[in-house]
Structure 1
Amino acid sequence: MTHKSIIYLVLSLLLFNCKTHDVVKKEIPSKAKNVILLIGDGTGLSQISSAFYFKETSPNYARFKTIGLIKTSSSRQDITDSAAGATAFASGVKTYNGAIGVADDSTEVETLVEIVSPQNIKTGVISTSSIQHATPASFYAHAINRGLYEDIAADMVASDIDFFAGGGTRFFNQRKDGKNLLEDLKTKGFGINTTALDDFARIKDYSKMAYLLATTHMDSIGGNGRGDFLPKATELGIQFLSKDADHPNFFIMIEGSQIDWGGHANDANYLIAELIDFDNAIGKALDFAEKDGNTLVIVTADHETGGFTLSASTKTREDGSTYSDYSEVAGTFSTKGHSAALIPVFAYGPGAEEFAGIYENTEIFHKILEATNWSNKN
């Protein structure tokens, strides 16, 4: 064999080994061990854009590299409500507006919490509304009508949820049937605080934890409202659900509920303040995921509310005529209800690339299962 032939053979082998190594890496993508799903209720692209104009620091939305879009129509309506939208995320099925954890024919469908809990995956839900409201309820309850709050509270007690934080005390202990479900939660091992969030050190020995900090819904973020409850609860929930060395993996859903309410009220200041608060919670989730390396963070919304637009401010001249001032942005609205706009999806971590593209809202559920080692065994 000539000298040139030997060199050619060696180079060929090196190239073959490199290609083989690349193929192996591509065939075994890493799987997420934890999933943090953040839902900004009523949050469309303009709502998100407001953080880039009105937040004093860089928005956490800007930290994502993978972005997709979802179609949000429910099974019977072009424009979804929160119940049908959240059921699509939680169970992967289209259903009618007002439905919680049931299919279009009103039969119960299995939720993410019900699928992963038997696999020793810890679960939690956080909301700035009552914990029985449509979005959080869709992850642990089954009801033909989202207004059945007392039935939904009973489903919470029967569920395998490990951590929850929000409002809604009255649906546990001021019930028409006279029951006090807070006692039932204690029997299941829950620590309960109806006053404030704790430091993690005070709750780390509990197996389950419940925070019910309002009779119905939490206060708004403005004025003397709820303060930094949402980012703090996000950080605390992640710490609590990941604390057990034997079973450290978790799924948690975190909802910024009142972005939607600002849209319904056509109140731009309310909406923007709630959006910035939600963005701060996103930051807590991303901070954990970046350090952990095994956590998938998904940020999306069930629908857009208010037909919100960032338009030029309208100014009035001395003669009474008006003009658009392009140097100043203002929030305007086209409706007091929901809209049918496509909704952005942001993803970070193992499996994030699967959330790019345009797809139905039900695919969020299926993509979560694909991105993890979790599975729907039914």
Structure 2
Amino acid sequence: MNKSLLMLAISAVLITGCNNENITKVKEEAEVIKEKMPKEVAHVKNLILMIGDGMGAQQIGLLEEYARRAPHSIYNGKGNITGLTKFAEAGQLGLSLSAPYGVNGSLVADSACSATQLAIGKASGSEMIGLDRAGDITKTILEKAKAIGKATGLVSDTRMTHATPAAFASHQPHRSHETAIAEQMIEAGSVDVLLSGGARAFLPADISTNSLAINTMEKVGAPAAIYEASKRTDDRNLILEAQDKHGYTLAFDGEQLNKATGTKLLGLFANSGMADGIAYKACKANNSCVQPSLRNMTLKALDVLSKDEDGFFLMVEGGQIDWAGHINDTGWLLHELIKFDEAIDAVYEWVKDRDDTLVIITGDHETGGFGFSYSAHNLPEAQSLSGDGMRGKDYQPKFNFGALSLLDKFYAQTATFKDMLNNVKAKTELANATGQDWADVINPNSAFKVTSEQAAKVALRGNNDYYSAGHRYLGDAQFPVIDDFKAFYVYGDELHGNLIGRALSTEQNVVWGTGTHTAAPLPVYAFGPEKIIKQFSTLQYHVELSQKMMTALLPE
């Protein structure tokens, strides 16, 4: 299979620095896989769409640099090869633009709009779920697959009613209508396997105080952490409705998920979002994880869905990549990328010997404007090199271009900035927190240290220049103080976390451009039959990406 110039260009960037022997083995395996693939097939039986929420080329660069060149990379025992690299070698690479499509659209997408456009293949509007630009309900690729007899599944490490999974199985004017989204997901019956967090949208309003409701949840095996709160305003228990009226098997932890049988499965493993990547690393290390990993949820979904002789559609989201980007937390970001790549690698192993499945891996948008950057801080000292081109002169770059040892320091982080923020809130009012309060929570959890004077900027609060009465995020008169690009930092008290990122950025050789999203083009990895995946190796919009997926999975 000849790769396009785009494929070659992107591959050259991604492969740089990888161990030659290891990448040679991957290339050899890829050639064997490609030879087995049918050349002229126009349709596939199965489609697996994997979305790294907030995952742009910059984020992929962080993962690949860590995997390939961190002195103590956890990928060392795996040949320094990521799951993403395996798909890059065995398939095609392209780029996609995620913006709300069309002349009446906008430049930047949120997750709801972007996922909707991937789901329906038409232009949508900001924060819409399953609606086209005019606000009309439009069948998604998942719903169309179900209509022709295919099995369907949604997997996410955020909440099942969060924007990305919601866009494939519900239709709402705004992404915030999560309780209505939960109702549609259960009542429509279009999704056979639902695995994520977010039980709070499925539970009755009085779940924390109603002893009968609590006893009922205990009887179906739900731990107390699952039903600690509700976002509903009525007495409906959609979890029990799913079991009693719609035939779903229920699961609330990893052990229950492993034992679950049947063709319909509802797994809700947290009241809100599932455990972050740093917490997952910790519990995995001592074998104490209660929640299933994104990898295990993905494998369970594949096991259930692949039993359908007609094939399946599965969407898997690595959703907390976006959350780490919003708070400008590079350490957390790396852990989320690793967690998502675990699932990607599992899918690669599942699919590499098949010729009936299309795999698409992409992001919905880039979050944070993340990047490594060279700086004036800690300038390098002169070195004496033996090369004959030095002509007796020392080697001394004029700027600090970032040491590879930084990569291990990111992986050494033991708490997210969000956790650090919550720890300070638990001790004192944020308005009263001092630089020392912030230093006391940053330094034990980060390999990058701050003084109380440096951390004082994290504590600063001032007037909200963009105050908007009643606004969910901008409705507070006081905001953490952001000195630059402040219009792009919108999430209230969470911005103290972004300020931790600012305080550490110089030592990290990292810059962040925003607390929201950017319109950066997104890599697209395509694996499957040759004729089908060639068309993805180009520059396209997410709307076109969706249309190509529909053509491949659904008959004319």
TM interval, short-chain normalised = 0.7 to 0.9
The corresponding residue for 1:362 is 543
Aligned counterpart in structure 2 of residue 196 of structure 1, from 244, 254, 259: 254
The corresponding residue for 2:18 is none
Q: Secondary structure at the match of 2:296?
A: helix
Residue by residue over 1:266-300, the C-alpha shift from the partner in whole angstroms, topping out at 9 and shown as x without a partner, is 00001111011111111111111112221111000
The yes-or-no answer on 1:69 pairing with 2:99 is no
- Asked whether the equivalents of residues 98 and 542 of structure 2 are also in contact (C-alpha less than 8 Å), the reply is yes
In structure 2, C-alpha distance between the alignment counterparts of 1:135 and 1:199, rounded to whole Å: 22
The corresponding residue for 1:162 is 192
The yes-or-no answer on 1:324 pairing with 2:422 is no
The corresponding residue for 1:37 is 49
Q: Secondary structure at the match of 1:367?
A: helix
Residue by residue over 1:10-57, the C-alpha shift from the partner in whole angstroms, topping out at 9 and shown as x without a partner, is xxxxxxxxxxxxxxx86x425311111000000000101111121332
In structure 2, C-alpha distance between the alignment counterparts of 1:285 and 1:47, rounded to whole Å: 20
Q: Secondary structure at the match of 2:400?
A: strand
The corresponding residue for 1:93 is 122
| C-alpha displacement of 1:371 | 1.9
5+ residue gaps, structure 1, are 1-24
In structure 2, C-alpha distance between the alignment counterparts of 1:158 and 1:363, rounded to whole Å: 30
The yes-or-no answer on 1:172 pairing with 2:190 is no
Per chain length, whose mean CA-contact separation is higher, i.e. which structure has more relative contact order (CA < 8 Å, sep 6+)?
Answer: 1
In structure 1, C-alpha distance between the alignment counterparts of 2:45 and 2:367, rounded to whole Å: 33
The yes-or-no answer on 1:286 pairing with 2:467 is no
The corresponding residue for 1:217 is 273
In structure 2, C-alpha distance between the alignment counterparts of 1:189 and 1:291, rounded to whole Å: 33
Determine which structure has the larger strand proportion and give its number: 1
Partner AA of 2:56 in structure 1:
G
Residue by residue over 1:248-267, the C-alpha shift from the partner in whole angstroms, topping out at 9 and shown as x without a partner, is 51110000001011110100
Q: Secondary structure at the match of 2:352?
A: helix
Q: Secondary structure at the match of 1:324?
A: coil
Distance 1:152-1:106 versus aligned 2 partners, 3 A rule? same
- Mapping for residues 284-323 of structure 1, pairs under 5 Å: 284-312=346-374, 315-316=377-378, 323=399
Q: Secondary structure at the match of 1:352?
A: helix
In structure 2, C-alpha distance between the alignment counterparts of 1:284 and 1:314, rounded to whole Å: 42
Residue by residue over 1:68-110, the C-alpha shift from the partner in whole angstroms, topping out at 9 and shown as x without a partner, is 1111111432100000000010001111111000112211111
- Percent of residue pairs bearing the same amino acid type: 31
- Asked whether the equivalents of residues 263 and 305 of structure 2 are also in contact (C-alpha less than 8 Å), the reply is no
Partner AA of 1:141 in structure 2:
S
Distance 1:313-1:240 versus aligned 2 partners, 3 A rule? farther
- Asked whether the equivalents of residues 228 and 277 of structure 1 are also in contact (C-alpha less than 8 Å), the reply is no
Residue by residue over 1:127-149, the C-alpha shift from the partner in whole angstroms, topping out at 9 and shown as x without a partner, is 11110000000000000000001
Residue by residue over 1:178-229, the C-alpha shift from the partner in whole angstroms, topping out at 9 and shown as x without a partner, is 11111210121100112335465x333x120011001111121113566761
- Asked whether the equivalents of residues 379 and 400 of structure 2 are also in contact (C-alpha less than 8 Å), the reply is no
Partner AA of 2:536 in structure 1:
F
| C-alpha displacement of 1:317 | 6.0
Distance 1:313-1:129 versus aligned 2 partners, 3 A rule? farther
Aligned counterpart in structure 2 of residue 59 of structure 1, from 53, 65, 82: 82
Residue by residue over 1:219-244, the C-alpha shift from the partner in whole angstroms, topping out at 9 and shown as x without a partner, is 21113566761011111110111124
Distance 1:352-1:228 versus aligned 2 partners, 3 A rule? farther
In structure 2, C-alpha distance between the alignment counterparts of 1:83 and 1:47, rounded to whole Å: 20
The corresponding residue for 1:133 is 162
The corresponding residue for 2:393 is none
In structure 2, C-alpha distance between the alignment counterparts of 1:357 and 1:325, rounded to whole Å: 32
The corresponding residue for 1:145 is 174
Determine which structure has the larger helix proportion and give its number: 2
| C-alpha displacement of 1:315 | 4.2
| C-alpha displacement of 1:115 | 0.6
In structure 2, C-alpha distance between the alignment counterparts of 1:275 and 1:267, rounded to whole Å: 12
In structure 1, C-alpha distance between the alignment counterparts of 2:238 and 2:158, rounded to whole Å: 19
The corresponding residue for 2:317 is 255
Aligned length, in residue pairs: 344
- Asked whether the equivalents of residues 169 and 212 of structure 1 are also in contact (C-alpha less than 8 Å), the reply is yes
In structure 1, C-alpha distance between the alignment counterparts of 2:375 and 2:305, rounded to whole Å: 45
In structure 2, C-alpha distance between the alignment counterparts of 1:74 and 1:294, rounded to whole Å: 31
| C-alpha displacement of 1:342 | 0.7
Q: Secondary structure at the match of 2:147?
A: helix
Q: Secondary structure at the match of 1:292?
A: coil
In structure 2, C-alpha distance between the alignment counterparts of 1:80 and 1:30, rounded to whole Å: 31
In structure 2, C-alpha distance between the alignment counterparts of 1:125 and 1:336, rounded to whole Å: 27
- Asked whether the equivalents of residues 312 and 327 of structure 1 are also in contact (C-alpha less than 8 Å), the reply is no
